[in-house]
């Protein structure tokens, strides 16, 4: 594949197809059939683009790069300063965006089946959430990163508020309020980096730092690092903003949370990699990132253990496992970064299984509280099987994918002489198992009251058959990646190598 | 969170955090004073005049056009989400749910108590504001202002007319039309990337200005008809030190028009929803 091309065809399509779809479905509003056809077709299209796309750059607006002699070039391999806004689509972007595209398709199909009127704006927000995450992952530009994060924050609030309930609106409002602070922080960071280097392009800014003596300006660089870290914490729901993010995960429809947690993981990966590339060499930078990550893992899982509602349990496990992703990245070594990236892929997959199972619970009309349920396994043995196997994957039990990535992170921590970090990762795995099976036992396995079998009630138990197909696909991915991790690692190693050895290369 | 919650330990922590942030930002700005690197801006400025006499337009709508496209999206999404919270597009699963939708009503706007004098003067002011908005958007490539500013000016005209005249406003736009304005605006902006994409492979390449076809490594070629359609109508004669030079801002004026529609649609829709509330039955009836 030719990675030197600067007008890669797929990159604009991954952004513009969802945007145009969002505009159209919002306009269509309650034309159910048209929304269904358009949204499903668009989701399939972006999935196809993500899968078949080659690798390379896209220089938006088609301006060239210019070298120190004033010569203009459209060849990416020549060292020069970019006049255009640059996106990069490589193996890491491919695997993460392809997985997100698959989940987008699932979410769109479920939304089309779950709602029957006025859901054009909802589907629009779903597609734009996809855009924000894809843009954050592909962009090699600080300013664009900021705007994509801002856009993403607003969309999270929209997706949560769309149910219209009081607690959802409250969660959305709180999240929006704090997003203003975090967005401002990212803007300040961008301003300081621009002030120091003069370049919004991340590669050019790193090159400037590596070739110029900053003198007394290192303090400014630390302040920029602090504000970018704040944005990272916020976008990914790390400590201390974990209550806001878990509130968001719990308040949205579970199928929407599938996309929300995917967006969070992608942002954690994208901003985390930018932090490492730009500030990784600064003393204490990685230590700060690692401390935040470890605390997030611990607090998240402790909170998950004390919940009495399956949705809340999942919300806090998502937060805790976000810390697991960032622990790998924060180690900053090749092995740690590979582990963190692999954990992100795995986490997205197995949490989606659990969230879809959680949504199906709503069809039994008993909510998701562990106090008022029981006997679901008897009513729907397949659903019980999926949730148990999903819990195995989330708890790092072989032969599922969670085991492989957690093993790599533990090995990376031990290689860095950080056995305490490895111990915390192990503790999180075990605690995840306990938290999940406490809820699963109460809701699925414990004998429950007999449901009435009248016609109206039996209709309530009709879980959409397509969801079982989606669960099967996700479980198959989880199993395949657990048995043959090389399938995913092949996409991740190059990015990890670049971050460690040639951080200026996107 | 209420103010009284900030008393005690929470307040102390918040105050310390704010102090640290203030100190960090303030000291950084002091250190940057006189040391700001020019970086890529020098290159931008060297070339900007070849597109539009207004450098800002070249930066915002050409070099950084994808940033601006996403910023336009922020305004669009702001409207979609704000109006959603007020009732447009709230969704319920097809199964019984425990919690009810929160009803949000509009403002209690009483236009009959407005002084007669205001009613006489408001209409010409509204007309002048709209005319000024149109002037700002049409001159975007050559002077300060553009789609954003036009949108805000026209939206303020809308707000003024609604406050003074209520639903009998001469500038009364249906909510469905406002949604369509936003969709048309952002859609036009997005689609302006298509000619460049099809001709050169670069999204948002300014086919009207066509600055880079002469570079040997440039991978595409802009057909003459595209160059003419998106370039000639916007051709400008510039009197520079070196003499008269001709330049075209290409697709930038069209993008600005799209931008203005988006901002008008988005902001007016938010005004509409906050003033009148949102009734789903009205929306259904209007479909």
pLDDT exceeds cutoff 90 at A347? yes
Residue B284: per-residue pLDDT = 46
Of residues A15, A119, A220, nearest to B89 (C-beta): A119
- B161 and B169 Cβ atoms separated by less than 8 Å: yes
What is the ipTM, given to two decimal places? 0.93
Instruction: Answer left, alpha or beta for residue A396, where phi above 0 means left and psi between -120 and 50 means alpha.
Output: left
Q: DSSP class of residue A201? A: B
Answer whether B91 sits within 8 Å of A163, measured CB to CB: yes
| Alpha-carbon span A261 to A275, nearest angstrom | 21
- B140 and B256 Cβ atoms separated by less than 8 Å: yes
- A357 and A392 Cβ atoms separated by less than 8 Å: no
Q: CA-nearest residue of chain A to B44?
A: A83
Q: Which of A177-181, A207-211, A229-233, B265-269 has the lowest average pLDDT?
A: A177-181
The residues with which B101 forms a beta bridge, in sequence order, are A165
Cα B141 from chain centre: 15
Answer whether A362 sits within 8 Å of B215, measured CB to CB: no
| Alpha-carbon span A277 to A274, nearest angstrom | 5
Nearest Cα neighbor of B70 from A459, A487, A155 is A155
The mean per-residue pLDDT over the stretch A28-39 comes to 95
How far is CA A142 from each of CA A198, A203, B67, B269, rounded to the nearest angstrom?
11, 10, 10, 31
The mean per-residue pLDDT over the stretch A11-37 comes to 96
What's the pLDDT tens digit per position in A417-434? 999 999 999 999 999 999
Instruction: Answer left, alpha or beta for residue A198, where phi above 0 means left and psi between -120 and 50 means alpha.
Output: left
- Determine the residue among B89, B175, B251 to mutate to test chain A binding: the one whose Cβ has the most chain A Cβ atoms within 10 Å: B89
Residue window 213-232, chain A: list those with CB within 8 Å of chain B: 216-217, 219-220, 223-224, 226
- A159 and A129 Cβ atoms separated by less than 8 Å: yes
Torsion of CA A205, A211, A212, A214, to 10 degrees: 70
Give the highest mean pLDDT range of A3-12, A104-113, A361-370.
A104-113
Burial of A141 (0-12, 13-18, 19+ CB in 10 A): buried
Of residues A27, A150, A198, nearest to B74 (C-beta): A150
Q: What is the CA radius of gyration of chain A?
A: 22
The full DSSP string for A30-96 is T-HHHHHHHHHHHHHHHHHHHHH---EEEEETT--EE-TTS-EE--TTS--EESSEEEEE-HHHHHH
Nearest Cα neighbor of A237 from A351, A321, A333, A130 is A321
Burial of A196 (0-12, 13-18, 19+ CB in 10 A): buried
- Determine the residue among A62, A156, A188 to mutate to test chain B binding: the one whose Cβ has the most chain B Cβ atoms within 10 Å: A62
Burial of A501 (0-12, 13-18, 19+ CB in 10 A): exposed
Residue B287: per-residue pLDDT = 39
pLDDT exceeds cutoff 50 at A1? no
Domains of chain B: which residue ranges?
A: 3-286
Q: CA-nearest residue of chain B to A158?
A: B81
Residue A182: per-residue pLDDT = 78
| Alpha-carbon span A106 to A78, nearest angstrom | 41
| Alpha-carbon span B73 to B16, nearest angstrom | 36
* A200 contact residues in B (CB cutoff 8 A): 40
Cis peptide before A399 (omega within 30 of 0): yes
pLDDT tens-digit profile, chain B (287 residues): 556 666 788 788 888 988 998 999 999 989 888 888 888 888 888 887 777 777 888 888 899 999 999 999 999 999 999 999 888 888 888 776 667 777 777 777 777 788 888 888 999 999 999 999 999 999 887 777 789 999 999 999 999 999 999 888 888 888 899 999 999 999 999 999 999 999 999 999 999 999 999 999 898 889 999 999 999 998 888 777 878 888 888 999 999 999 999 999 999 999 999 888 887 665 544 43
| Alpha-carbon span A356 to B252, nearest angstrom | 45
The residues with which A369 forms a beta bridge, in sequence order, are A309
Of residues B65, B80, B98, nearest to A124 (C-beta): B80
| Alpha-carbon span A179 to A184, nearest angstrom | 8
Of residues A61, A72, A223, nearest to B25 (C-beta): A223
The residues with which A65 forms a beta bridge, in sequence order, are A73, A82
Q: Exposed e or buried b for every residue in A230-242, given b needs 16+ CB within 10 A?
A: bbbbbbbbbbebb
How far is CA A132 from each of CA A19, A145, B73, B105, rounded to the nearest angstrom?
10, 9, 10, 31
The residues with which B239 forms a beta bridge, in sequence order, are B244
A62 half-sphere exposure, CB direction, 13 A CA radius: 30
Assign A318 to helix, strand or coil: helix
As a whole number of Å, the end-to-end CA separation of chain A is 16
* B73 contact residues in A (CB cutoff 8 A): 19, 128, 131, 151
Burial of A390 (0-12, 13-18, 19+ CB in 10 A): buried
């Amino acid at each position: 594949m030719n990675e030197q091309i600067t007008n890669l065809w797929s990159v604009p399509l991954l952004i513009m197809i969802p945007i145009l779809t969002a505009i159209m479905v919002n306009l269509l509003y309650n034309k159910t059939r048209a929304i269904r056809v358009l949204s499903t077709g668009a989701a399939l299209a972006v999935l196809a683009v993500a899968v078949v796309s080659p690798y390379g750059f896209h220089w938006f607006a088609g301006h060239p790069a210019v070298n120190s002699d004033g010569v203009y070039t459209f060849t990416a391999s020549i060292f020069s300063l970019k006049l255009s806004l640059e996106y990069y689509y490589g193996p890491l972007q491919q695997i993460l965006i392809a997985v997100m595209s698959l989940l987008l398709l699932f979410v769109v199909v479920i939304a089309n089946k779950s709602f029957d009127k006025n859901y054009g704006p909802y589907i629009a927000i779903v597609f734009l959430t996809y855009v924000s995450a894809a843009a954050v992952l592909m962009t090699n530009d600080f300013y664009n990163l900021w705007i994509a994060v801002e856009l993403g924050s607003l969309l999270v609030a929209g997706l949560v508020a769309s149910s219209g309930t009081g607690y959802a609106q409250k969660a959305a409002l709180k999240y929006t309020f704090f997003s203003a602070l975090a967005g401002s922080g990212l803007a300040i960071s961008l301003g300081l980096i621009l002030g120091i280097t003069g370049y919004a392009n991340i590669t050019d800014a790193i090159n400037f730092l590596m070739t110029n003596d900053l003198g007394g300006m290192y303090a400014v660089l630390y302040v920029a690092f602090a504000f970018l870290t704040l944005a990272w914490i916020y976008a990914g729901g790390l400590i201390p903003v974990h209550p806001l993010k878990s509130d968001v995960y719990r308040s949205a429809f579970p199928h929407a949370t599938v996309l929300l947690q995917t967006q969070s993981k992608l942002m954690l990966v994208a901003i985390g990699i930018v932090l490492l590339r730009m500030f990784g060499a600064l003393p204490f930078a990685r230590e700060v990132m690692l401390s935040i990550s470890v605390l997030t893992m611990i607090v998240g899982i402790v909170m998950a253990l004390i919940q009495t509602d399956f949705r809340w349990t999942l919300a806090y496990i998502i937060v805790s496992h976000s810390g697991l992703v960032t622990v790998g990245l924060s180690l900053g070594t090749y092995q740690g970064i590979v582990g963190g990236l692999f954990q992100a892929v795995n986490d997205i997959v197995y949490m989606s299984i659990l969230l879809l199972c959680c949504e199906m619970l709503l069809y039994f009309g008993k909510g998701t509280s562990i106090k008022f349920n029981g006997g679901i396994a008897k009513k729907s043995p397949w659903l019980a099987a999926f949730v148990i196997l999903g819990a195995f994957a989330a708890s790092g039990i072989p032969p599922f994918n969670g085991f492989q990535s957690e093993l790599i992170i533990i090995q990376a921590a031990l290689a860095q002489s950080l056995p305490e970090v490895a111990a915390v990762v192990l503790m999180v795995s075990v605690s995840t198992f306990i938290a999940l099976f406490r809820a699963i036992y109460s809701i699925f396995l414990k004998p429950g009251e007999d449901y009435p079998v009248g016609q109206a009630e039996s209709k309530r138990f009709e879980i959409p058959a397509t969801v079982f197909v989606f669960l099967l696909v996700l479980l198959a991915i989880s199993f395949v990646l657990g048995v043959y991790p090389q399938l995913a690692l092949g996409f991740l190693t190059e990015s990890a190598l670049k971050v460690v050895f040639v951080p200026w290369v996107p | 969170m209420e103010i009284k919650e900030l008393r005690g330990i929470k307040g102390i922590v918040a105050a310390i955090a704010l102090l640290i942030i203030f100190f960090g930002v303030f000291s950084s700005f002091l250190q940057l004073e006189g040391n700001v690197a020019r970086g890529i801006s020098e290159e931008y400025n060297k070339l900007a005049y070849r597109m539009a006499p207004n450098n800002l337009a070249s930066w915002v709508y050409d070099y950084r056009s994808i940033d601006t496209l996403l910023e336009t999206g922020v305004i669009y999404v702001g409207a979609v989400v704000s109006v959603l919270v007020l009732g447009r597009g709230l969704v319920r699963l097809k199964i019984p749910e425990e919690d009810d939708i929160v009803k949000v009503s509009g403002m209690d706007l009483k236009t009959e108590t407005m002084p007669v004098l205001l009613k006489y003067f408001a209409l010409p002011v509204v007309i002048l504001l709209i005319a000024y908005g149109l002037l700002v958007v049409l001159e975007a490539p050559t002077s300060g202002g553009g789609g954003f500013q036009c949108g805000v000016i026209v939206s303020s005209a809308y707000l003024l007319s609604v406050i003074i005249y209520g639903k009998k406003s001469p500038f009364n736009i249906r909510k469905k039309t406002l949604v369509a304005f936003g969709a048309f605006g952002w859609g036009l902006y997005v689609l302006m990337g298509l000619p460049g994409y099809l001709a050169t492979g670069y999204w948002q390449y300014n086919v009207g200005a066509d600055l880079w076809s002469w570079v040997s490594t440039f991978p595409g070629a802009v057909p003459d008809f595209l160059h003419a359609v998106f370039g000639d109508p916007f051709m400008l004669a510039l009197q520079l030190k070196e003499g008269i030079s001709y330049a075209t801002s290409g697709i930038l004026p069209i993008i600005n028009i799209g931008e203005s529609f988006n901002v008008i649609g988005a902001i007016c829709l938010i005004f509409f929803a906050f003033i009148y509330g949102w009734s789903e039955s009205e929306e259904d009836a209007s479909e």
